[in-house]
Amino acid sequence: MITRMSELFLRTLRDDPADAEVASHKLLIRAGYVRPVGPGLYSWLPLGLKVLRKIEAIVREEMNAIGGQEILFPALLPRAPYEETNRWTEYGDALFRLKDRRGNDYLLGPTHEEFFALTVKGEYSSYKDFPVILYQIQNKYRDEARPRAGILRGREFLMKDSYSFDIDDDGLKTAYHAHREAYQRIFGRLHVRYVIVSAVSGAMGGSASEEFLAESEVGEDTYVRCLQSGYAANVEAVVTAIPDPIPAERIAALPEPVVHDTGDTPTIATLVDWANGASLPQFAGRDVTAADTLKNVLMKVRQPGGDWELLAIGVPGDREVDDKRLGAALEPAEYAMLDDADFDRHPFLVKGYIGPKGLLANGVRYLVDPRIVDGTTWITGADEKGKHVVGLAAGRDFTPDGTIEAAEVREGDPSPDGAGPLVAARGIEIGHVFQLGRKYTDAFTADVLGENGKPVRPTMGSYGIGVSRLVAVIAEQQHDELGLRWPSTVSPFDVHVVIANKDSDARTGATELVSELDRLGADVVLDDRQASPGVKFKDAELLGVPWIVVVGRGWADGVVELRNRFSGEKRELAVESAAADILAALG
Amino acid sequence: MITRMSELFLRTLRDDPADAEVASHKLLIRAGYVRPVGPGLYSWLPLGLKVLRKIEAIVREEMNAIGGQEILFPALLPRAPYEETNRWTEYGDALFRLKDRRGNDYLLGPTHEEFFALTVKGEYSSYKDFPVILYQIQNKYRDEARPRAGILRGREFLMKDSYSFDIDDDGLKTAYHAHREAYQRIFGRLHVRYVIVSAVSGAMGGSASEEFLAESEVGEDTYVRCLQSGYAANVEAVVTAIPDPIPAERIAALPEPVVHDTGDTPTIATLVDWANGASLPQFAGRDVTAADTLKNVLMKVRQPGGDWELLAIGVPGDREVDDKRLGAALEPAEYAMLDDADFDRHPFLVKGYIGPKGLLANGVRYLVDPRIVDGTTWITGADEKGKHVVGLAAGRDFTPDGTIEAAEVREGDPSPDGAGPLVAARGIEIGHVFQLGRKYTDAFTADVLGENGKPVRPTMGSYGIGVSRLVAVIAEQQHDELGLRWPSTVSPFDVHVVIANKDSDARTGATELVSELDRLGADVVLDDRQASPGVKFKDAELLGVPWIVVVGRGWADGVVELRNRFSGEKRELAVESAAADILAALG
């Protein structure tokens, strides 16, 4: 195919758009790949659409290769099934809701678990029908609070969502791993640099779950990894490295806890100051730090459909409770901090002096950070104003109701596999694989006949790829200071031929070269515009086709120039064999 | 490609769905191509999606062949541009409207004239940039009052909409004809039987406009055509054949009109009865019929932004005013019948006895059917209760303000080209080509620099094809009593191979044959299910792949059977050369 820039619906921009913050957003607009039409809404101009379709085709190929069957649901969906699973409400403001002319409720689909489950229920009736993997590549809608970074986080975006249905957990695992490998092939073909991180389930409930994060400074997701072992996890999913157990004889030898008058010490900082002035025998020879204190954070928690109940979380005093980790750990329950009325209702809660003994004596559910193992001793509240206890031993003096992964994760924390410290980085979620389980087949009682003649309920996996987001991710990872750079697998063209010579012979020669490239099967864009060579070179660099051919001054000497947009390497090719040489370079 | 029915996500249904009325709807559901998910909302299962994508690919190829450049807008669009063109209001209940979390108004795009015009305005600035044809293939949304007939009229549907932009009318004509010819190629490749009819502009305003209607008894559009000349038009667009002018000397010889007491004759029927009993000299020797009377229909009309004004329409008494034709003729004005208060306000309007003289004397705008040429004489109201006038001559006794195409069209009416009578038929709109003009470039002041240095305003054409509707149209036109029948250009598979023999040799043989067909490039579905030959044959007929290969009893004798789903023809093929022979049959 030959595309002439003199006819192409494309106008590049010299300046960055005013509201663009990240490089991919700036460049995709400047290079005329996309245009904004509203907050989080973009139109795809010819070049952008070509890249999008190429990514879509690669995703489709790899989904078909693992036996995925493509189907397509409407984006406009009736409310009832989402009501059944409570997602109509749970999605909150992120769901686009609307009414039809009869006043019935509809939504624009954010994901389609409900309809896939209902469809399989509708078509299949026996265990013999399974396994099956179904997918669609379709526009999704989410009313983001702050749509940002161009197509990295839009409100209408193209997504591949697939769903596996299996009779048993082994089947689900097989489908999960098939997807995981397909995703690795897809992102490999797209030349995306990514990590696979453990993830918690988020709003969807379920068990095994991993995210594919494209490495990027502009990513919204923070993850940590251990460079020694390769362990990687979303912040929400990080498992705390548990200290070695303390031998029983050492616990037996611990001094009894002592309650002290600590004065006005309602904060960790004031408590540490007091402790360092108190010449406590346990700390002879070293300073007391916040890590020696046990901070008890009070909140109330409500399970879906249940009542508010008190919950206390104990963490070492040098760590905050991380909202994201707390939310994920409590999922699907919601939580809220206590207000004054709550404190008034529970006079045993002495603000600033709350301790494990008072909590447990009053029946408050008490969960602690996994670092608080049996035999660790703490400076903590003594449940009376101005009093703290020193040397309170977990497991001996108090026994929590369990542990919770809610304390903040820090760079330098040990990896849970013991291999070394964790380092933090940012990424952009490009894929998610998820052993969803029976949440949706339960909701719709999607039973089929089992091998033994009794009903059996299929288990689901749910797998997503952000197809339109990948256009921005590739732009973000591959661009340089001159413009975009596309891997050949997704580039809008194979070769960009620039006529940089006003000589009519050169023009004719370029046209012939392009015809020959087309004949050999290359997809070529020809810059045949009446513009200066400088303008044309700048545009070629901005557009980012991986190979640039310049028909310029060398023409008179029988040579054209081939440039590699990634390496910057240039070499001269003899005109006679130029087309064949270029094809060979494309690989 | 090989698809095994044992693994295919497909369950055919024995019975017609309860709510399906038309054959295509019944069959597409029974054959597992689509499934309903809500009123006017359908999911595409694997086979349906394959057909849809093949149609889409043909449309794309032909659009690219006329130089169309594909782009893609969001379906979710901000209100402002549609407010600018008044379509936010004009679309009425048919527009899906919604609000985002900030309370801003959005719509689901019904067509995208506004955004195409704005985009060209944004990118192009000079006459040198033109012409350009842009298109998209995208989901459209219309909240139909009665979504019906399955995917023939859905509320979310796939459409190709393209728009041409030209500096002058000659350019627009060229783009219009390029589209018209591309559409003929597209519908030809899809084997759709269709007619091209003149159409009025409908809600969009503009000039030349034609519709492509697929011939179908279940179509919602009525059109007429002249079998002698090939003239064809939408009912709204039919031009009345005007009678020959009456010579001046004959007009001069007409008797003077006479006012009669006609008693209680407020309807055409009672007036005709009176006339036949009155021995009127003009009608000596023949009966008076309703066609001899002139009926004056009163209404009020309001131009956009204007006030209500009276309008009277005079039609021969044997014809009704046709709502669709009236609406199209008055476009963009709206109209309403008069209520009692209106009659009270205008006492000269004597219900049942309204005549041209009273109307014209009181300044009421008066338009007549084109058959009411100068010199025709009429029995009509005399503007007094119980009185009519006989022999009132148009052009002599009254002069209307003009003519209007609002009277009903009937089979047998003469074709406007004089070639013969009109016959009526029904069709399904599958395409529309439309010289839109400057409505949208005016709305957005989308001027560019002209050749003479002054601003020039581009003119637009708008062209649509109902891509998803075509799946149903082809099913509707091609099916027979056994099931669907797909032309090879859109069939989900090239060949349907049925294993109709439990013998394991036959099974192995069929598998080898299918591998060979695949190797030769055919897309094959293999019915390898454990089911009776009868069930498999029925399904093969229902699914509608054009070529069916049966590996059955003949296997032992070294033959397989090739069936043509359209002609029903069967022939035996020697196993050794079967694959090659089948490929040859596919053509």
> Are A41 and B74 within 8 A, CB to CB?
yes
Q: Is B457 exposed, middle or buried (0-12, 13-18, 19+ CB in 10 A)?
A: middle
Superfamily of domain B19-238+424-476: Bira Bifunctional Protein; Domain 2 (3.30.930.10)
Task: Round to whole Å and give the CA distance between B336 and B350.
Answer: 18
Residue listed under structure tokens 């004009």: B90
Distance from CA of A314 to the nearest CA of B (A): 37
Residues of chain A neighbouring B75 (CB-CB closer than 8 A): 75, 139, 156
Q: What's domain A54-238+424-467's architecture?
A: 2-Layer Sandwich (3.30)
Q: Kindly report, as residue ranges, where domains of CATH 3.90.960.10 are found in chain B.
A: 248-403
Distance from CA of A400 to the nearest CA of B (A): 42
Which of B9, B73, B155 lies closest to A123 in CB terms?
B9
The number of beta carbons lying within 10 Å of the beta carbon of residue A226 is 20
**Would you state the structure tokens that stand for residue B82, as one six-digit string?**
């549609």
Distance from CA of B80 to the nearest CA of A (A): 10
Q: Tell me the CA distances in angstroms from A428 to A196, A423, A465, B280, one per residue in order.
A: 11, 17, 12, 91
> Are B35 and A96 within 8 A, CB to CB?
no
Distance from CA of B57 to the nearest CA of A (A): 13
SS3 of B112-155: the string is CHHHHHHHHHHHCCEHHHCCEEEEEEEEEECCCCCCECHHHECC
Give which of B264, B238, B364 is closest to B308, Cα–Cα: B364
Counting every residue written for chain A, the total comes to 587
Sign of the CA dihedral running A465, A470, A474, A477:
negative
**Would you state the structure tokens that stand for residue A48, as one six-digit string?**
């952008």
> Are B46 and A67 within 8 A, CB to CB?
no
Task: Round to whole Å and give the CA distance between B13 and B80.
Answer: 47
Does domain A495-586 match CATH 3.40.50.800? yes
Which of B7, B73, B141 lies closest to A43 in CB terms?
B73
> Are B74 and A119 within 8 A, CB to CB?
no
| A266-319 pLDDT per residue, tens | 999 999 999 998 888 888 888 999 999 999 999 999 988 889 999 999 999 999
Which of B37, B74, B98 lies closest to A77 in CB terms?
B37
In the prediction, which pLDDT does A184 show? 98
**Type of residue numbered A78:** P
* DSSP tally for chain A: helices H, then strands E: 16, 30
Distance from CA of B23 to the nearest CA of A (A): 21
Task: Round to whole Å and give the CA distance between A115 and A110.
Answer: 12
Cα B304 to its chain centre, rounded Å, is: 26
* End-to-end CA separation in angstroms for chain B: 18
- CA-nearest residue to B138 within chain A is A139
- CA-nearest residue to B46 within chain A is A71
Which of A35, A119, A124 lies closest to B43 in CB terms?
A119
In the prediction, which pLDDT does A201 show? 40
Residues of chain B neighbouring A69 (CB-CB closer than 8 A): 8-9, 46
Which of A10, A38, A101 lies closest to B93 in CB terms?
A101
In contact, A346 and A332? CB cutoff 8 Å: no
Q: Kindly report, as residue ranges, where domains of CATH 3.40.50.800 are found in chain A.
A: 495-586
Does domain A248-403 match CATH 3.50.50.60? no
Element (H, E) at A310: strand A309-316
Kindly report the pTM of this predicted structure.
0.88
Which of B42, B75, B93 lies closest to A75 in CB terms?
B75
Which of A37, A100, A141 lies closest to B115 in CB terms?
A37
pLDDT in tens, chain B (587 residues): 999 999 999 999 999 988 888 999 999 999 999 999 999 999 999 999 999 999 999 999 999 999 999 999 999 999 999 999 989 988 889 999 999 999 999 999 999 999 999 999 999 999 999 999 999 999 999 999 888 778 888 999 999 999 999 999 999 999 999 999 999 999 999 999 999 998 864 334 445 889 999 999 998 888 998 999 888 888 888 888 888 889 989 888 899 999 999 999 999 999 999 999 888 888 888 999 999 999 999 999 998 888 999 999 999 999 999 998 998 888 878 899 999 898 999 999 999 999 999 999 999 999 999 999 999 999 999 999 999 999 999 999 999 999 999 999 999 999 888 889 999 999 999 999 999 999 999 999 999 999 999 999 999 999 999 999 999 999 999 999 999 999 999 999 999 999 998 888 889 989 999 999 999 999 999 999 999 999 999 999 999 999 999 999 888 899 999 999 999 999 999 999 999 999 999 98
Residues of chain A neighbouring B49 (CB-CB closer than 8 A): 70-72
Residues of chain A neighbouring B122 (CB-CB closer than 8 A): 35
In contact, A514 and A496? CB cutoff 8 Å: no
Q: What is the DSSP letter of A463?
A: E
Residues of chain A neighbouring B46 (CB-CB closer than 8 A): 69-71
Which of A35, A139, A141 lies closest to B122 in CB terms?
A35
Give which of B404, B403, B381 is closest to B392, Cα–Cα: B381
Residues of chain B neighbouring A45 (CB-CB closer than 8 A): 71, 123
Residues of chain A neighbouring B45 (CB-CB closer than 8 A): 71, 123
Residues of chain A neighbouring B150 (CB-CB closer than 8 A): none
Residues of chain B neighbouring A56 (CB-CB closer than 8 A): none
Distance from CA of B206 to the nearest CA of A (A): 25
Residues of chain B neighbouring A94 (CB-CB closer than 8 A): 101
In contact, A61 and A186? CB cutoff 8 Å: no
- CA-nearest residue to A10 within chain B is B123
In the prediction, which pLDDT does A131 show? 97
The pLDDT mean for chain A works out to: 93
Task: Round to whole Å and give the CA distance between B409 and B223.
Answer: 10
Residues of chain A neighbouring B44 (CB-CB closer than 8 A): 71-72
**Would you state the structure tokens that stand for residue A370, as one six-digit string?**
């996994």
> Are A145 and B78 within 8 A, CB to CB?
no
Q: What is the DSSP letter of A399?
A: -
> Are A123 and B46 within 8 A, CB to CB?
no
Residues of chain B neighbouring A141 (CB-CB closer than 8 A): 76
> Are B72 and A32 within 8 A, CB to CB?
no
Which of A72, A75, A106 lies closest to B49 in CB terms?
A72
| A572-586 pLDDT per residue, tens | 999 999 999 999 999
Task: Round to whole Å and give the CA distance between B298 and A542.
Answer: 65
> Are A108 and B76 within 8 A, CB to CB?
yes
Residues of chain A neighbouring B143 (CB-CB closer than 8 A): 100-101
**Backbone torsions φ then ψ of A34, nearest 5 degrees:** -140, 165
In the prediction, which pLDDT does A207 show? 59
> Are A96 and B93 within 8 A, CB to CB?
no
Residues of chain B neighbouring A52 (CB-CB closer than 8 A): 72
pLDDT of A263 higher than 80 = yes
Say how many CB pairs under 8 Å bridge A and B.
133
Distance from CA of B190 to the nearest CA of A (A): 22
> Are B9 and A143 within 8 A, CB to CB?
no
Which of B72, B115, B141 lies closest to A76 in CB terms?
B141
In the prediction, which pLDDT does A202 show? 38
> Are A11 and B124 within 8 A, CB to CB?
yes
In contact, B96 and A76? CB cutoff 8 Å: yes
